[in-house]
Structures are given as C-alpha cells and as structure tokens.
C-alpha cells in the first residue's frame, strides 16, 4: 500500500449483506473475528451490515472481535406511525454504529431522492450513528459522459452540511459495476474519488474534507482489491457479495496487512 499522510483517514472495509443471511450466517462473523488480529486492527476498520433481522444478534456475535455492525438503511423519523421502518435510534439500540444510506438499490427500488437521503443522514448523525452515504452513476449516465456531474449532484444533495469527518463516510459505487463483475479502470476511480475529495473540502472545509473516508464499491473481490484499494483517495471498500463469506471478506481486508 502507498504511504499514508497524517491527514489520510484510517481505511474501512465494510460488508453489505443486502437481503441475504439467516442466523446460521452469523458464523461468518465469528470466523472473521478469528483473523482480525491486533496488527490488522491497527491498519483497517471492519464493518458488517446485515439485514435488520440480524442486527442485534450480529452485534452480539461481534462482541470482542472489534468488528463494527451497521444497518443497511434507517428512517429519517425517530419514532411514530411508520409501519415497517427502522429508526436510527433502533439501530443504535440494537448495537449498530453505522448505517448505509442512499445505496443505488434504495434509490432505484424505493425511488429515494437526494433530499430524503440527506434527511436520513441528518437523523442518523443526530442519533449518534455514522452515515455511509452512497453515490454513483448508471451505465447510461456513464455512457453520456455525466459520471462526475451525477456524483457531484448526489454528493451535494445527500450529505448534511454540518456533518464532521467522524460522522460521515462516502461510498462511490458505480451502479453498472454492482454485482456484475465489471469495474472501472484505476484512472476512472481515481478521477471520481479526487472529485469527491475536492467537493468535500469545499463543503466541509479543508481539514474535515481531507479526513472523510471515501470507499469504493462495485464488484470488489479478493483478486482486484489490491489494485482498487491502492488508488489515491480510496480509503477502503464497500463490499457486497464477497462479504457473505469470511474467507473472501478477510482476503480483501488483508490488503491492508502491511499498512
């Protein structure tokens, strides 16, 4: 890995289990914890975001491993008549410390817009959670040369203006790369992450903007993790399918073994 400056944030490798997993799957977290030793803990933070049904048992399973547990979404509301929703304080009460917001599957399947995601992020942060805000372009947007414009619009519309670097993570996930096995070139990833970094510094101030972790997501696998995680301004990964198995997830985390 390249040398890190004093302003380079500690990397985060986060696993998004999506709508997968039962209680039997929690064994994978136990196995992850066995290889997440003190040396690796110094170099990288680990997070698993299971479905909401597994949030509390996952947090219990992860006790003593230093693996953080998070949610895949949360409501902008704290409580009330919102059947089926999960509030950020419920996530916190269940042992979660982070929450993924604005994932492309939420933006597409549930028609979530930037303004709603900003409201969710504000509520999550106010509750004490770290908001992982996702941005990324579709295939048609990419082909039209609109990648940077789309990402910048989503970023500026989805993050709370008063957030600090400790309360916010950004995940760049090109929609066309999620679950397809396709990935952008290293040059493309570097360009998008630099654009996000520069915008964060403008929005949050230079020092805070430098310290926000920017993750890359979209078909991150053990065989491409080293290249992707070595790119400038890539401070970790948001991992989908490869996070369901401890052997694959930890192989990605091991990229940071040498610091």
Low-confidence ranges of the chain (pLDDT < 70): 1-7, 259
9 within 8 A of 211, measured Cβ to Cβ? yes
Q: What pLDDT does 181 receive?
A: 81
Catalytic residue among 103, 112, 118, 210: 103
Tens digit of each residue's pLDDT (9 = 90 or more) over 7-59: 689 999 999 999 999 999 999 999 999 999 999 999 999 999 999 999 999 99
The question of whether 193 is a catalytic residue gets the answer no
Tens digit of each residue's pLDDT (9 = 90 or more) over 76-96: 999 999 999 999 999 999 999
Residues 249, 35: Cα–Cα separation, whole Å = 11
Residues 13, 3: Cα–Cα separation, whole Å = 18
15 backbone dihedrals φ, ψ, rounded to 5°: -110, 125
The question of whether 112 is a catalytic residue gets the answer no
Q: What pLDDT does 54 receive?
A: 98
183 within 8 A of 203, measured Cβ to Cβ? no
Closest among 89, 15, 26 to 54, alpha carbons compared = 26
In 3-state terms, what secondary structure has residue 125?
helix
pTM greater than 0.85? yes
**Cβ-defined contacts of 137-144 (< 8 Å, 24+):** 137/174, 137/175, 137/176, 138/104, 138/175, 138/176, 139/175, 139/176, 142/174, 142/176
CATH superfamily of 12-72+86-256: Aldolase class I (3.20.20.70)
Catalytic residue among 28, 105, 173, 210: 173
Residues 9, 235: Cα–Cα separation, whole Å = 7
């Amino acid at each position: 890995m390249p040398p890190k400056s004093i302003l380079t944030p500690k990397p985060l490798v986060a696993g998004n289990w999506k709508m997968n997993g039962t209680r039997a799957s929690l064994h994978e977290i136990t196995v992850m914890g066995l290889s997440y030793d003190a040396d690796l803990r110094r170099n990288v933070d680990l997070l698993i975001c299971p479905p909401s049904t597994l949030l509390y048992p996952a947090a219990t399973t992860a006790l003593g491993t230093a693996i953080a547990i998070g949610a895949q979404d949360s409501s902008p509301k704290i409580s009330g008549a919102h059947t089926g929703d999960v509030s950020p304080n419920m996530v916190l009460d269940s042992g979660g410390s982070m929450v993924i917001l604005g994932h492309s599957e939420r933006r597409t399947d549930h028609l979530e817009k930037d303004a709603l995601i900003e409201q969710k992020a504000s509520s999550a942060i106010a509750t004490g959670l770290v908001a992982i805000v996702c941005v990324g372009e579709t295939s048609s947007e990419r082909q039209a040369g609109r990648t940077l414009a789309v990402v910048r619009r989503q970023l500026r519309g989805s993050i709370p203006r008063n957030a600090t670097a400790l309360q916010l993570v950004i995940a760049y996930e090109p929609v066309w790369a999620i679950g397809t096995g396709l990935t952008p070139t290293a040059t493309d990833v570097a360009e998008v992450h630099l654009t996000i970094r520069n915008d964060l510094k403008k929005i949050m101030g230079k020092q805070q903007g430098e310290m926000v972790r920017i993750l890359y997501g979209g078909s991150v696998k053990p065989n491409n993790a080293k290249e992707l995680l070595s790119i400038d301004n890539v401070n970790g990964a948001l991992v989908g399918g490869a996070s369901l198995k401890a052997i694959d997830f930890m192989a990605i985390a091991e990229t940071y073994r040498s610091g």
